Structure 1
Amino acid sequence: MTAVRKPRKRAKRHVETNQFDAFVRRILKAYARRVAAGDVEALAAMVTLSAEVDAMLRLAVAGLRAAPYSYSWDEIARRLGTTKQAAQQRYGDKSSRHALDSRLLEAGLGVTVATLVQVFADHYPGSPAASRCPGCGFRYPDNTSDCPTNATVRPLLK
C-alpha cells in the first residue's frame, strides 16, 4: 500500500514595494505601446484605467490618514512633493468639503434667481440619478438624490 503524500504548501512570497512598482510600470508601458501601435479601441479603456488609478490613490491616502497610521496632511504632502493644501484638495474626501456651493456662500442674501438656477443645474443628479453629485462629488445616501447644495436651492426655486 502506498502512502498518500499531502501536497506541500508553497511559502507565501512577499514582494517588495519597489519590485511591485516596477512590475506595474512595465504593464502600463506595454499597454501604452499597444494603444500607440494602432489599437484605437483600447484608448477609452486606458482613460478609464487612469481614472481608476486616481481613485485608488485616494483610497491609499485615506488608509494612511486613518487609524492606526493617522498620517497628517503635512506628512503625506512631503512624500508627494507638494503642499499640504494641494494634497488635501486632490486626495481628500470631496464629500466633506464645501457643503454648499461657493457661489451661494459668496452671494449670501444677495443671491439672484439666475445664480440659483445655474447652481441647481450644476448639481442636478441627472436621470437616472448618479451615485455622486456631479457638482461637488457628494455621495448620495440611500433614497436621496440631492446634495446639500441642491437641498438648499430646490425649495428656493419652488
Structure 2
Amino acid sequence: MNDATDICDPIIKFDKVVKRFGDHVVLDELDFEVQRGEKVTIIGPSGSGKSTVLRILMTLEKINDGVVYVGGEPLWHQRKGESLEPAGEQHLRQMRSHLGMVFQQFNLFPHMTVLRNLTEAPVQVLGVSKAEARKRGMELLEMVGLTDQADKYPHQLSGGQQQR
C-alpha cells in the first residue's frame, strides 16, 4: 500500500462499484468511503448487499465494474502507467496482507491449537514461514493476554477467549 497516502484520503473507497450475480444487480454503482480512524456500521435489510460489500473488500468476491481502493491503492486492479488493469494474484496477495476481518462467529478449527489457528492462514495463504508466523502469533496472543492458552484447543477456552 502507498505509505505516502494523504492523511485526508479515505482508507477505503468504492468508486462506482457494480456487482451482479447473473441478472441480479446487488451493487449498482456504489460510491462509499471510510476515512482513516472512522468507525462505520453497514445496516440494511437481508439481500441489500451488506455481506457482498465485505466479501469484495476481503477479495472473496470479484467486482463487475468500478474500482475499490484500500489505502489509496486499487484493490481489484493494478496500475499500468496511467491506466488500471485487472489485478494479478501477486497484487491481490500483497493487498490481502493489509486486510483482516473479525467474524461474528468464531469459526476456529476445533482440531487445531489456539496458536495454529492463528498461524495457519499466514503460512498457507501469505507464504509466511512457520517460525515467523509462530513469532507473530505469540505477539498477538500477548496483546490479548492469552499467551498461556497457545497450546490449548478451542473447546478448552471460554467464549470471550475464543473471540479474542
Report if TM-score (shorter chain) is over 0.5.
Answer: no
Q: Of Structure 1 and Structure 2, which has the larger fraction of its residues in strand?
A: 2
TM-score, length-normalised on structure 1?
Answer: 0.27
Q: Which has the higher contact order (CA 8 A, sep 6+)?
A: 2
**Which of the pair has more CA radius of gyration?**
1
TM-score, length-normalised on structure 2?
Answer: 0.26
